[in-house]
Homo-oligomer: A and B are copies of this chain.
């Protein structure tokens, strides 16, 4: 601990704070102001991180108070709390209001100029004003994105295959796949899924203000949707509501979802780009009003973005409700088109790590294709969810249009499942004949060429075709990354099986 620089620091701080206060526009008494604590923060940080502070200044948080928000009509409110702690009511929502919340719950709390500050504002902190959104999000599989990934044997194998270092000795022909390191995982899968943030201690850092203490964080930076926060809560609101503007207008744009839904495993954005919906968005959205709550179909926007169908509170002109806001998201989804390895009804619990199929694998379907009913929603719930989604469709489309769309989707689920089944038969045969090493040989099922091809069959091609069908962006599902390759990949697997058999014969 160094004490001397503190004095210098306090001096600098005083000067900066004064400068900042003098720079504030003269305002009428009634205009909401930041709390004293927040003004203290801004004193330094508006100089140190000007972009960060500007972002906040552009945010609704910077000029609105919870009290004023509470006075609004319910449908127009952007938060769900009925009671706000008194000390937060009358000030704008600034640095201090969030970064000083619940210090006792935060393992990342540290002393910062006499305040108990934490770096990571968690969903639990946000829930102070947004409790309903938090409660809904807890039922969203996304909040379990870390847990469901790392606690699942099959996913874990895919992580190892992608991120592990392979050592190969070409003379001996021996390959060894090492377990991936933490940094590699955090720079790939966990970037979207979320990291487990650990506080490894309190460290001194040199800063422009002198040496200061900070909580040292492992797994940070990260904004993954299933992040395990130092206060034990799950997720990161800023995954979609980017810091420090926390804009609903941004979360409503497909660019936000595209951060994690663009790859061939979940190509929602790619499909949107070739859909009529996407065309209208990209051609017209610069004239839309992306900010209002509630969001009026046809008036504020003229084509759905991801949020319109999956999250947003929608009304029609005049204000009658079309559909309620949902941060659970899958309450409008009847099938899970992300195959594991087959498309299947949505799981009941967001925690999918509890799922086991008959052969003991942590998958919602058998390898032969049957869904593992116990863990999945039933027909009635499926119908009810489909009906919810159709409410959105019917805003612009006729019932016949809408019904026929879902009939086509259901057929795509069947055909892609069929093609996955053929691939699985080939793989199982390879295992049975000893041409590849599967679980019974206590080996990974995603590390040999024929296994990689099997994974691609459902993870890339099956998923792509289903997304293209669900979101009416056919072009992506044919030649770009869909039906053509789904067939070709099967031919490659058939050929591979032949090859492996020949090799086996040759070596006898």
Contact surface of A with B, Cβ cutoff 8 Å: 23, 46-55, 57-58, 119, 161-171, 173, 175, 181, 183-184, 186-189, 191-192, 205, 207, 214, 216-217, 220-221, 223, 242, 245, 247, 249-250, 253, 255-256, 258-265, 273-276, 278-280, 282-284, 286, 297-299, 302, 316-318, 322, 394-401, 404-405, 407-409, 411-412, 415, 418-419, 422, 425-426, 428-429, 447-449, 452, 459-460, 468-469, 472-480, 482-484, 487-488, 490-492, 494-495, 497-498, 502-503, 506
Pairwise interchain contact A418-B223, C-beta atoms closer than 8 A: no
A184-B415, A258-B273, A502-B503 known; A283-B166 Cβ under 8 A = no
Pairwise interchain contact B396-A49, C-beta atoms closer than 8 A: yes
Pairwise interchain contact A478-B317, C-beta atoms closer than 8 A: no
Q: A52 contacts which chain B residues (CB < 8 A)?
A: 298, 395-397
Pairwise interchain contact A400-B217, C-beta atoms closer than 8 A: yes
Assembled-state Cα–Cα distance A334/B156 (Å): 34
**Chain A to chain B contacts (Cβ below 8 Å), 16 pairs:** A47-B316, A50-B298, A50-B316, A51-B395, A52-B395, A52-B397, A119-B398, A168-B422, A170-B425, A170-B426, A175-B494, A184-B412, A220-B400, A223-B276, A262-B476, A449-B492
Please give the count of copies of this chain that the complex contains: 3
Assembled-state Cα–Cα distance A479/B456 (Å): 10
Q: A472 contacts which chain B residues (CB < 8 A)?
A: 191
Pairwise interchain contact A487-B399, C-beta atoms closer than 8 A: no
Q: A396 contacts which chain B residues (CB < 8 A)?
A: 49, 51-52, 55
Assembled-state Cα–Cα distance A187/B494 (Å): 26
Pairwise interchain contact B429-A171, C-beta atoms closer than 8 A: yes
A219 nearest in chain B by CB position: B404
**What 6 A-B pairs have minimum CB-CB distances, sorted nearest first?**
A54-B298, A191-B474, A51-B396, A50-B316, A170-B429, A263-B479
Pairwise interchain contact B262-A415, C-beta atoms closer than 8 A: no
Instruction: Report the minimum CB–CB distance from A247 to chain B (whole Å).
Output: 8
Q: Is the interface of A mostly helix, strand, loop or mixed?
A: helix
Q: A459 contacts which chain B residues (CB < 8 A)?
A: 479
Q: A302 contacts which chain B residues (CB < 8 A)?
A: 51, 54-55, 58, 245
Q: A494 contacts which chain B residues (CB < 8 A)?
A: 168, 170, 173, 175
Q: A404 contacts which chain B residues (CB < 8 A)?
A: 217, 220-221
Assembled-state Cα–Cα distance A191/B484 (Å): 15
Assembled-state Cα–Cα distance A169/B317 (Å): 57
Pairwise interchain contact B170-A483, C-beta atoms closer than 8 A: no
Assembled-state Cα–Cα distance A492/B483 (Å): 21
Pairwise interchain contact B474-A297, C-beta atoms closer than 8 A: no
| Choice from B46, B55, B448, B480 contacting A264 with Cβ under 8 Å | B480
Pairwise interchain contact B492-A411, C-beta atoms closer than 8 A: no
| Choice from B322, B400, B448 contacting A205 with Cβ under 8 Å | B400
Assembled-state Cα–Cα distance A175/B322 (Å): 49
Pairwise interchain contact B220-A407, C-beta atoms closer than 8 A: no
| Choice from B54, B163, B265, B478 contacting A299 with Cβ under 8 Å | B54
Instruction: Report the minimum CB–CB distance from A27 to chain B (whole Å).
Output: 18
